[in-house]
Structure 1
Amino acid sequence: MTASGHPTDDLVVANLALVGYHVSEVMMRVPPTVTRDELASAGSLALVLAARAYDASTGVPFARYAALRIRGALLDELRSMDWATRGARHRARELAATNDRLTGALGRAPSREELAQALGTDVTAVDQARQDAERRVLSIDATVNPVADLLSDDSPGPEDALLISERMRYLRAGVEALPDRLRQVVEELFFHDRPVAELAAEMGVTQSRISQLRTEALGLLRDGLNASLDPDLVTTGERPQGVAERRRQTYFAAVAARAATSANRAAMTEAVSVPTPRRGADSGRAVGAPSRLTSA
């Protein structure tokens, strides 16, 4: 316990080093016009907000959860000063997602021609999107208040909150539905922060095999979520009628079924928690008070 004795304060104090680590990592990749103080302020606020929102019952270590929040806040801070238009950033994100998807499917980095074909465009557009992703030129007249921007971003509206909740439900279902070996790799590496070497020794395989299993699991997990949430992004197997593709489709169905069961369970819990009005009570008056009709 710290001197404050407050759980939230304890989490913040114990994990302050995370802010410095991620700020230092970002500072190595941005122009000198970006000040460390601006990023440190955004990262510290993200750490505090993460401590307030953390739910230990999820089983996710706080350090990992906070690291995601801090990195997101730092990216938001840089984005608020970025020259790029929303369209340019969208193209850069689309290129990155397509590159990751093809890398998982091909087992290697895709060529510019393969990226262009997957995106339905030409190589010139791919090169332009790459330039958009790599450029770090900042607008000299950016005047966004970083603290206000962070507070706004960390307070999603009802629609955003619903979408996030839905994706988290499918993510949990996707992990649970993975084959045992793949699920073990995902849970140990990402939920329990196990080193690759340690996990490889425990499972009796090489470290490169763990990396292969991780790539396979993440690719299957990504397609499992997209099969229900965004089918257009699902990769097509080389043999649509083959055994491997049938197993993928079975996994997709299992993810959808688990997510639906989780949604139904949550809906039932919410319905049970709603207080039932006492029978015979008129709206707007106390129970047991005579109504005008009976007293007339």
Structure 2
Amino acid sequence: MTEQLWINYKERNIKEAKDELIIHYVALVKIIAGRLYTSYNAHVEFDDLLGYGIIGLIDAIEKFDHKKQIKFETYANIRIRGAIIDQIRHMDWIPRSTRQKYKRVEEAISRVQKVYGNDMTDEHIAKELGVSMEEYGKLIGEVTTYSVVSLEERLEDNSNFDIASDSVDFQPEDNYTDREVKRILAETIDKLPEKEKKVMQLYYYSELTYKEIAEILGISESRVSQIHTKAIAKLKISLSSLY
């Protein structure tokens, strides 16, 4: 079905075919917008994310080369999500104080990791930050949303890599960097402690919520948040060599 639509639009310039492609792939936009809506903790309206995503979808349809051996869903996923994230960044809804707190946490994790490696604990990080475990828990709760956002932004700035996909859409000028990003992230995730690796898999690949992950692992949502935030910081630290 879609193959003929691509031919009609790309080779015969039939506008109706483009409209049908947009309608056909709106479901993909809804999935991506819904996923990001969860990540951004309802700081933005779902309909707004959907609108931003459709802009990305239209751009993807216009630029997609249907003759290449690349799945459109993979190509569009990257561009739809990129369009949504780009618009949200322009909104600048995250307080500067939250960004600063997350930077403190990330820097503390970097320092502690150099000493303890993957054996570092939350107690080590809290001590490095000079806070109690209770204060540490509250701090992680405040920055957890931005930790997800910051990783998305870092990947969006640097490459066409999609953390939840085994495929990468390569452009010649991006080929080396994209492969490096994928290699570094894969190696870092592989070296994570088992629980951190499990949380990353369930969140990004199975696309579960913190509540669902907590139920599977038999821990609290706040604990999932702590594990996830720590794992994300490690991923960002591992990518620092590319900047």
TM-score, normalised with respect to structure 1: 0.39
**Greater helix proportion:** 2
TM-score (norm 2): 0.46
Structure of greater Rg:
1
